[in-house]
Amino acid sequence: MTNLKLKERSKNVQRMFGRIAARYDLMNRVMTAGMDIRLRKIVVRKAQLPPSGILLDLATGTGDMAFEARKQYPQAYIYASDFSLAMLQIGQKKTSTPLKFFAADALEIPFSSSSCDAVTSGFLLRNVVDLDRSLQEQLRVLKPGGIFVSLDTTQLGKSILRPLISFYTHFIIPLLGRLLTGDREAYNYLPSSTDQFYSAEEIAARLQSNGFTSIGFERKMFKTVAIHWAVKPITQ
């Protein structure tokens, strides 16, 4: 894919998230029956942030992951980044809890190398136009021994529930999206992008090929999402 096409795809994703920002949190709660809250708690716990550590949450959206990190690590420095200004503006209005919001692209993280104790993300990897570059950037900004944790949808694979889950993701979620956000197209994108995304095993392999170690993952929500974690080597 040419650079021009990659940039256009990135802009399309950015515009899409801008359109649904106002109802993004509501839609997440409805389509996951509130499970997205529990999943973010698991992600933040796996970050194992030290006291007064630095955590960068990429693709923060309206800040749910970052706010959870603030709850679990009240003494830490929490930075919340997204490339959608509309999402960030809503996040800044949600609470008086101090967070450092800023706009940035996950392919060009404006942090110095080896500056973060942990990097988290929710539904970032499926949306970046260059997965390897994003992983390399996250590895770069982590301190040696720092922890990467991501939450994202994953291909379902074999399951007796596959027909039911497929019906829910391809028909019910777009319908809910149209009713709650007025944007069915955005929620058609979710199942179609998941169908074209990597399996949990393939993401683990990409983490390894990009220099991470101690890689693991677990599937959740009837194996429709996966949490991956990995470590930046102490020595490289």
Per residue in 116-128, pLDDT (tens digit) is 999 999 999 999 9
- Alpha-carbon span 8 to 27, nearest angstrom: 26
Q: Is residue 63 part of a domain?
A: yes
CATH code where residue 39 lies: 3.40.50.150
Domain count, the chain: 1
Q: Token pair for residue 32?
A: 């996951």
Which segments of the chain does DSSP mark as H helices, in order?
3-20, 24-32, 35-46, 64-72, 85-94, 131-141, 162-167, 173-181, 184-195, 200-209
The H or E element that residue 226 is part of is strand 225-231
Does 10 score more than 90 pLDDT?
no
The H or E element that residue 231 is part of is strand 225-231
- Alpha-carbon span 133 to 50, nearest angstrom: 27
163 confidence band (pLDDT: 50, 70, 90): confident
More confident of the two residues 193 and 56: 56
DSSP 8-state symbol, 23: G
Q: Is residue 53 part of a domain?
A: yes
11 confidence band (pLDDT: 50, 70, 90): confident
Does 4 score more than 60 pLDDT?
no
Q: What is the mean pLDDT of residues 49-57?
A: 95
Residue 195: the pLDDT is: 86
3-state class (DSSP) for residue 148: strand
Crossing angle of helices 64-72/35-46, nearest 10°?
A: 50
Supply the range of the domain harboring residue 100: 3-161+199-231
Does 7 score more than 90 pLDDT?
no
- Of the chain, the percentage scoring pLDDT greater than 70 comes to 96
Distance of CA 63 to the CA centre of its chain: 11
**How would you label 60-85 residue by residue, b for 16+ Cβ within 10 Å and e otherwise?**
bbbbbbbbbbbeebeebbbbbbbbbe
Other beta carbons within 10 Å of 226:
23
Does 177 score more than 70 pLDDT?
yes
Q: Is residue 193 part of a domain?
A: no
CB half-sphere exposure, 48, CA atoms < 13 A = 9
Average model confidence (pLDDT) for the chain? 91
Does 74 score more than 80 pLDDT?
yes
- Per the rule left: phi > 0, alpha: psi between -120 and 50, beta: everything else, 48 is left
**pLDDT digits 0-9 by tens, 120-160:** 999 999 999 999 999 999 999 999 999 999 999 998 777 78
More confident of the two residues 184 and 67: 67
